Amino acid sequence: MRVAALYDIHGNLPALEAVLKAVDESNPDLILVGGDIAYGPLPSDTVERLRALGERARFIRGDADRDIVESLDDPHPDPDSRWCAEQLSEEQRAFLIAQREMLTVEVDGLGPTLFCHGSPRSDRDRITVGTADERVLPMLAGVGERTVVCGHTHAQFDRCFGGHRVVNAGSVGLQFGERGAYWALFGPDVELRHTEYDYDRAVARILANPGPLGDRFAERVLEPPPARTAVERWGDS
């Protein structure tokens, strides 16, 4: 099986649409959506676009997905998470919270491959290209799969920690690095992918939807921070 991994979409529907077109051209057997779907400027439309993939896709839950749903019961919620939750229907929120934290898929050439959000230990764990081995190895304790795919830190890498190969698929909608949407294709090896899209049109769509996240995301579409930002923020986390 060949798998396209789409992580950290963050409500950036224009980026997602561009990636799905590129995915169709690659013709994988499965689309694996790696969490943090709806926290962003176009939450409801993004969730619906992914749900429309039907049997072509499988999902894992990210920490931001969980935060959105839990914000409705939090007396002191993060206001942006609460706003995202209020844009979603009850059915959409139920869809987000129902997803598993990890999935193992048999991938051509790689064998059993574990897909998680932050790490196999926690969806909050942060692994970057600069994180020291001694910090990562405890996150992989007890993991039998030799290939582990993660996201959460929004910058691609392909590293080895002990006997494990850990790949960050990058972020579709809120990346660090050059402009564009980042994802990865698995089978028979690992291909880190980068997809361009119409940035000005994307910004116009984002800003046309009133909400607290629009300006921030529009800026990230046009001028994303460099890839090293992930290491500067979380390299020792």
> What is the predicted pLDDT for the residue at 70?
97
CATH number at residue 52: 3.60.21.10
**What are the residue ranges of helices labelled H in the chain?**
13-26, 43-51, 63-71, 79-87, 90-98, 133-136, 199-207, 214-222, 228-234
How far is CA 184 from each of CA 69, 133, 160, rounded to the nearest angstrom? Answer: 27, 23, 17
> What is the predicted pLDDT for the residue at 235?
74
Residue 200 exposed, middle or buried by CB count within 10 Å (0-12, 13-18, 19+): exposed
Measured distance CA(1)–CA(186) in Å, rounded: 9
Measured distance CA(72)–CA(67) in Å, rounded: 9
Q: What is the CB neighbour count within 10 angstroms for residue 76? A: 6
Measured distance CA(192)–CA(183) in Å, rounded: 6
Residue 28's nearest CA partner among 62, 5, 53 is 5
The one-letter amino acid code at 19 reads: V
Torsion, Cα 81 183 117 216, to 10 degrees, reads: -20
> What is the predicted pLDDT for the residue at 236?
66
Report yes or no on whether pTM surpasses 0.85: yes
Contact 172, 40 (CB under 8 A): no
Q: Domain total for the chain?
A: 1
The residue segments making up the domain with residue 171 are 3-234
pLDDT per residue, tens digit, the chain (237 aa), is 999 999 999 999 999 999 999 999 999 999 999 999 999 999 999 999 999 999 999 999 999 999 999 999 999 999 999 999 999 999 999 999 999 999 999 999 999 999 999 999 999 999 999 999 999 999 999 999 999 999 999 999 999 999 999 999 999 999 999 999 999 999 999 999 999 999 999 999 999 999 999 999 999 999 999 988 888 888 765
